Amino acid sequence: MKPEDIEREFREKVCSKLSLVPEGLDRFRVFTPFMFEDGDHLCIILKKSRDRWTLSDEGHTYMHLTYDLDEKDLQRGTRQKIIANTLAIFNVEDRDGELLLSVEDNSYGDALYTFIQGLLKIADVSYLSRERVRSTFLEDFRALVSEAVPPERRTFDWHDRQYDPQGIYTVDCRINGIARPLFVYALQNDDRTRDATIATLQFERWGLPFHLMGIFEDQETINRRVLARFSDVCEKQFSSLKINEDRIVRYIQEAIRS
Amino acid sequence: MSARYSDIEIARLIVEQKPLPLDYLSRLQTRSKRGHKERELSVTGVNGSEFRIILRRSILNPFDFSAILAYLPPRSTQSFRLRRYNGRSHEHTNTLERVTFYDFHIHMATERYQDIGAREDAYAEPTDRFFAYSKAVECLLGDCNFTLLGTPQLKFFEVEQLTLF
């Protein structure tokens, strides 16, 4: 096939897939071949308001994203940044969830292409919500400790009834029956690590005797500052549960025997 | 890796009886978010499967809505959309069949679309069974074997009340 034939084929294909269908006064539905990942096409309306022609998605793009995502997730974190950048780059207005682009200087084609690019880029944030297998870390932690420590010598979700009757400062597992009980934390993320540091400092303030041990789900994912503060108060750490199960059991059993 | 289900498993999940709480209507009344209204209701099937009814409707276009039955696979953070009842607000293309239409339509989870790496409910069929949001919800509840707790059948006429804003 000659290049000019290919070009003609391209033009025919693209043009034939674009159409404008009237839907009431000064309002048209714009059909394009551009789709979300589920085969639904982008929702685009061309409408006139206050003598200006505007392209609108009538809130469909965000609504479509909320099939998988919490609406609040669109307004925070990486998704919010991608959306805010996209709106700025393509000059698209977000009017309370409705995405709009004004047609300037009768440049309908330019406006449509810009609007489509913006909508597709926003639709892409759905890929950030792809499957993440739910962590079994806490369940695995409990199973491991339950196996290594007899029931009468361990208390999960322990708190000091005298100083902290409401249970604000908790320990994931307290291993007792030794001169200084062993407090064990299962640490999944920055928040949990920060909470463990705060609780440990509080226990020290109350003058509780204890040894401290932290088991991370994946220590490499913890913020360096958060980890540094926790390291200051923690005697023994394991960087991950899975690859240290034997060592963890050995450490706990030695602590019990002591 | 997303959860994957065969056509037989999908069919089994759809026909599993799903008892709705007696106050299901009030719990399905949508609430305003940015640009649309939404509501979700979790339901446990008689075989212990976890499901969620997900409702979405546009504030600006009454024909833009979605009534979804999602299955929540154990040990997964992503729901699996078994059925989706969509309004007439956009075209849909079935990539494998190379068919495009603009109509009210029902998305269905299929094994063959999962096989090509598409979303599980990327296949859809046009329908004339509903022309409005409340009727779409009614079709979802009827097609997917929802029942009222303690009664064998749902009184579908009640679903009309869902049109109330």
The string of pLDDT tens digits covering residues A55-85 is 999 999 999 999 988 887 788 777 888 899 9
Q: Which residue has better confidence, B88 or B151?
A: B88
Q: Please say if the pLDDT value at position A174 is more than 90.
A: yes
What are the counts of helices (DSSP H) followed by strands (DSSP E) for chain A?
A: 8, 11
Residue A188's closest CA among A249, A242, A137?
A137
Total number of residues shown for chain B: 165
**Are residues A118 and A86 in contact, defined by beta-carbon separation less than 8 angstroms?**
yes
Give CA–CA dist A200/A66, Å, rounded: 40
Closest by CA to B118, choosing from B99, B98, B97, B96, is B96
The helix-helix angle for A224-233 and A190-206 (nearest 10°) equals 30
Query: What part of A 10-49 touches B (C-beta under 8 Å)?
Result: 31, 33, 35, 37-43
pLDDT at B165: 39
Task: Determine contact: A70 vs chain B, CB below 8 A.
Answer: no
Q: Which residue has the higher pLDDT, A9 or A248?
A: A248
Please list every residue in chain B whose beta carbon sits closer than 8 Å to the beta carbon of residue A66: 33, 36, 38, 56
Residue B3's pLDDT is what? 81
**Partner A contacted by B72 (CB < 8 A):** no
- Chain A residues touching B126 at Cβ < 8 A: none
Cα gap A98→B35, rounded to integer Å: 6
Work out the average pLDDT over B11-29. Answer: 93
| Model pLDDT, residue B158 | 59
- Least CB-CB distance to B60: which of A40, A58, A66? A58
Q: How far is it, in rounded angstroms, from Cα B28 to Cα B149?
A: 16
Tell me chain A's radius of gyration from C-alpha atoms: 29
Between chains, do A43 and B81 touch, taking CB under 8 Å as contact? no
pLDDT band at B152 (very low <50, low <70, confident <90, very high): low
| Candidate from A68-82, A193-207, A216-230, B134-148 with smallest mean pLDDT | A68-82
- The confidence band for A9, taking pLDDT boundaries of 50, 70 and 90, is confident
**What is the mean pLDDT of the segment spanning B27-56?**
94
Binning pLDDT at 50, 70 and 90, where does residue B162 land?
low
Q: Is the pLDDT of residue A111 over 70?
A: yes
Q: What is the pLDDT of residue A71?
A: 83
Instruction: Return the H-helix or E-strand segment holding B18.
Output: strand B18-20
Angstrom CA distances, A7 to A2, A98, A148, A187, stand at: 9, 36, 71, 58
What ipTM score was computed for the predicted complex, to two decimals? 0.90
- Minimal Cα–Cα distance from A134 to chain B, Å? 5
Q: B110 by DSSP, 3-state: which?
A: coil
d(CA A223, CA A226): 5
Q: How far is CA B148 from CA B23, B105, B155, in A?
A: 9, 26, 8
Residue B129 clears pLDDT 90, i.e. is over it: yes
Cβ atoms of residues B145 and B15 within 8 Å = yes
> In the prediction, which pLDDT does A130 show?
55
| CA A253/CA A150 separation, integer angstroms | 10
Question: What gap in Å lies between CA A70 and CA A83, rounded to an integer?
Answer: 15
Cβ within 8 Å of B, A 178-237: none
pLDDT of residue A252: 92
* Residue among B1, B35, B90 minimizing CB distance to A97: B35
Query: Which of B66, B77, B102 is facing A134, going by the closest CB pair?
Result: B77
